[in-house]
Amino acid sequence: MLLASFMFAIMNVCIKFVKHLPVPEVMLFRAGIQLLLSVPIIYQQKLNLWGNNTKLLFARGITGTLALFCYIYTLQSMPLASAMTLYYLAPVMTAILAKYIYREKLLPVQWLFFALSFAGIVMVKGFDMRISSFDFLIGITGAVISGLSYNFVRQLGKTERPIITVLYFPLVTFPVVLVTCLLGYWQMPTWIDLLWLVFIGVTTQVGQVFLTLSYQHEEANKVVIFSYVGIIYASGFGFIIFQETYTFGAVLGMCMVLAGVLMSALVKRKFTFARKNF
């Protein structure tokens, strides 16, 4: 998860450099490069391209596509750290949805920590005037859909190789955004734009592999804590590269989001350890 967070942080910076391009166009290049990198590996390992649970794989692809659209949109329209903070509600939603989908246990105190995270999100919106209500809603929607998608990834870990799960993300995304681009959401990229778009695809592929491995080999509640290091990358890159600054209230809100998730993960880990050793 630490490696995945770093790769995605680099990807986020690249997306900010092409914020003048339509979202479907960015998604098209990202999905296309992922397909080019994934298919040869599957062929070399002689794996079944369609996997073992095709319906769930397509469900993962569809939810991943919708979440990706929301995420890229917020990255292009918001400051980097603010967009990342909204996205980091996804692990919270993953844990909450896992309770009802897979009956994973949530301790009562975890709901208090989740409430702290949501309160922090509200503070970020309230103190960062650069975030419109519409953009905020798109970010929250993306986090919820991401939580559902990550739970599908978890379930697919029982039947699929990680590379197959990764493949279905671009396999669904590519034809959807290709049609969208053909309908008019296209702007001819420059050579510099193409360079950034290639970096987006490569870093995405590497990050997706590590992300998939982390969710397939451990409970969602346990890996959440490591994903939040990305906010440190986002704040640093935003300040150094894009000269983005934040009010005290917005920073406090980001800290509340992180504190809520970190405390929830630590309490869950302590409870799990105690139960195994009882």
Q: What single-letter amino acid sits at 121?
A: I
Out of 35-39, 116-120, 268-272, which region has the weakest mean confidence (pLDDT)?
Answer: 268-272
Q: What percent of the chain has pLDDT over 70?
A: 93
pLDDT band at 168 (very low <50, low <70, confident <90, very high): confident
The pLDDT assigned to 29 comes to 93
Whether 103 has a pLDDT exceeding 90, the answer reads: no
Whether 272 has a pLDDT exceeding 90, the answer reads: no
The pLDDT assigned to 189 comes to 93
The pLDDT assigned to 221 comes to 59
- Secondary structure element (H or E) that encloses residue 130, with its range: none
Mean pLDDT to the nearest integer, 46-62: 87
User: Which tokens in the block code for residue 98?
Assistant: 């896992």
Alpha-carbon span 2 to 66, nearest angstrom: 24
The pLDDT assigned to 212 comes to 74
- Eight-class DSSP state of 129: T
pLDDT band at 178 (very low <50, low <70, confident <90, very high): very high
The pLDDT assigned to 195 comes to 95
Nearest residue to 181 via CA among 51, 43, 31, 12: 31
> Is residue 257 within 8 Å of 117, Cβ to Cβ?
yes
How distant is the alpha carbon of residue 4 from its chain centre?
10
CA distance to 17, 31, 94, per residue, from 20 (Å): 8, 19, 31
Alpha-carbon span 193 to 180, nearest angstrom: 19
- Secondary structure element (H or E) that encloses residue 59, with its range: helix 54-77
The pLDDT assigned to 99 comes to 84
pLDDT digits 0-9 by tens, 7-32: 888 999 999 999 999 999 999 999 99
Whether 36 has a pLDDT exceeding 90, the answer reads: no
> Is residue 241 within 8 Å of 13, Cβ to Cβ?
yes
